[in-house]
Amino acid sequence: MTARFVEVADRVHVLREPLLHVNVTLVVGEGAALLVDTLSTAAQARELAEAARTVTPHPWTVVNTHHHFDHCFGNVTLAADPPRPVYAHELAAVALRDHPDELRRAAYEEMRDEQPALAAELARTELLAPTHAVRVETVLDVGGRRVVLRHPGHGHTDADLVVHVPDADVLVAGDLVEQSGPPAFEESYPIQWPDALADLLRLTTPDTVVVPGHGTPVDVDFVRDQHAKLARQAWLIRAGHTGNAPPERVAAESPFGARPGLIAARRGYAELDGTA
């Protein structure tokens, strides 16, 4: 990984990992820092730590936006020695603490065809569970800066956190917002996702910088557009489910394309059936 942090607002820096385009956000305060997400492997996390140290010497607290491998498998490298606080939604904390083998297996299966070397490394990565669980909202003091960790509801997963830095007007959205590709629906809640994004939008101003889970930072208009598409997709899923239409028919009209739309339709049907 050859990447560096770029300042996107006052003492808020973003690094985009080049393989999967994952964003890591570094918030710097007086004598303290906050690192949002830790990438996929120990090797990536070591390079991430080196990049962070070019920005600040301060000790950091870690936040995981959710429990998918590309956002938290670097926890051990960045937070175990010396021990650092690690915050995540309570369900993400449970997944990392109680189901590490399942998470490693899912990561391996996801990457084995596209990135076999990465998949092999993921399969043997040691995981570190968060030390602090967030249910709805937690406020941190990061060297005199107020930072809000908020769970806006079910969306990309059931355990998403957004990170709001009000004094810099920055919102770190995790995979609730995607720029470099369509949203990922494999573990999603497509019916509820628009509501989660609406909750996120209530934290914004016209000038807010929004850091997506993957890709280039975006503005509020981009998020509103993605919200409208997610709302349209949720409506299509509800209508298809009511009319007993096959998921493929719903997918054909998805604003995100047929393949993501099919995954979303199947997840949405399960959500409406109470089996998601």
Amino acid at 262: L
**Angstrom distance (rounded) from CA 92 to CA 95:** 5
Give the CA count within 13 Å in the CB-facing half-sphere of 165: 28
Fold of 6-220: Metallo-beta-lactamase; Chain A (3.60.15)
**Angstrom distance (rounded) from CA 80 to CA 42:** 12
**Angstrom distance (rounded) from CA 48 to CA 77:** 10
pLDDT, position 2 = 75
Residue 125, by phi and psi: left (phi above 0), alpha (psi -120 to 50) or beta? beta
What are the pLDDT tens digits along the chain (276 aa)? Answer: 678 999 999 999 999 999 999 999 999 999 999 999 999 999 999 999 999 999 999 999 999 999 999 999 999 999 999 999 999 999 999 999 999 999 999 999 999 999 999 999 999 999 999 999 999 999 999 999 999 999 999 999 999 999 999 999 999 999 999 999 999 999 999 999 999 999 999 999 999 999 999 999 999 999 999 999 999 999 999 999 999 999 999 999 999 999 999 999 999 999 999 998
Burial 139-158 (b: 16+ CB within 10 A, else e): ebebbebebbbbbbbbbbbb
pLDDT, position 20 = 96
Of 15, 112, 104, 42, which is closest to residue 68 (Cα–Cα)? 104
Instruction: Tell me, rounded to whole angstroms, the distance of Cα 122 from its chain centroid.
Output: 18
Instruction: Say if residue 2 is exposed, middle or buried (CB neighbours under 10 Å; 0-12, 13-18, 19+).
Output: exposed
pTM of the model: 0.96
- Number of other residues whose CB lies within 10 A of the CB of residue 246: 12
pLDDT, position 272 = 98
